[in-house]
Amino acid sequence: MASKARTAPRREESLSRERIIEASIDLLDSGGEAGLTFRALSERLATGAGAIYWHVANKSDLLTAASDAVVAQTMEAHVDAATPEAAIRTLALGMFDAMDAHPWVGTALARAPGQLPMLRLMERLGQQVNAMGVPHHAQWATVSAVLNFILGVGGQNAANSQTGREQKLDRNHVLGSLAATWSALDAEAFPFTRSIAEQFSSHDDKADFLAGVDLILRGMQPQV
């Protein structure tokens, strides 16, 4: 008579911090921060919450780890650049695209100013700023300006895009309506706003973002 198996079937994949982070990113992408709960994560991974807590302390730790995974992947994909300026521009563009693909990243990074994902970005930018010859006493302010611009503008663009998708808004229609409203403003009170209304109606968010990065880079040149 054949003996019965004494152990349960092995899982195809053992639970690891990497699998938890990957599943967390999927939940964040589909449902935002509200969609990332340990219950949802447990269901996604077919395991108990206790097993997850073995690898991560809490939701804050999980958000930081997920954002770090996105930052690290972005940095690995954008390493080749001929000059420090090109490296900064390339990293900025990579983060812009990463935040657009993962709208929760900007907020998660803002909540973890001294954690690993922010340190990764600061270190990469700092090395390039140093290579550009910016004096040591000005490097912290310079890196802060670049980093805050990347995360601020990139994060806002991601939030706008996410809102547009959720509300099923047509971008061209929204911009056109705003441009029409601006064009009708009082000419004496809002001369500038009226003058750029037409440009606003057809502007490209990524192009505007890169123009801002280039302005900062040009501002750094006199210090070389």
Same domain, 106 and 174: yes
- Within a domain: residue 9? no
List the pLDDT tens digit at each of the 224 positions of the chain: 444 443 333 343 578 999 999 999 999 999 999 999 999 999 999 998 889 989 998 999 999 999 999 999 999 987 778 899 999 999 999 999 999 999 999 999 988 888 999 999 999 999 999 999 999 999 999 999 999 999 999 999 988 888 888 788 888 888 999 999 999 999 999 999 999 999 998 899 999 999 999 999 998 875 44
How many distinct structural domains can be found in the chain?
Answer: 2
- Which alpha helices (DSSP H) does the chain contain, by range? 17-31, 38-45, 49-53, 59-77, 84-101, 105-110, 116-131, 136-166, 171-183, 191-195, 197-201, 205-220
Pick from 34, 28, 18, 152: nearest CA to 73: 18
Q: What is the Cα–Cα distance from 89 to 213, expressed in whole angstroms? A: 7
Same domain, 147 and 194: yes
Same domain, 51 and 77: no
- Within a domain: residue 199? yes
Which CATH number belongs to the domain containing residue 45 in this structure?
1.10.10.60
Is 128:150 a contact under the CB 8 Å cutoff?
A: no
Same domain, 159 and 208: yes
- Within a domain: residue 22? yes
Note if the pTM is more than 0.75. yes
Pick from 81, 206, 71: nearest CA to 132: 81
Question: Residue 37 belongs to what domain range?
Answer: 14-56
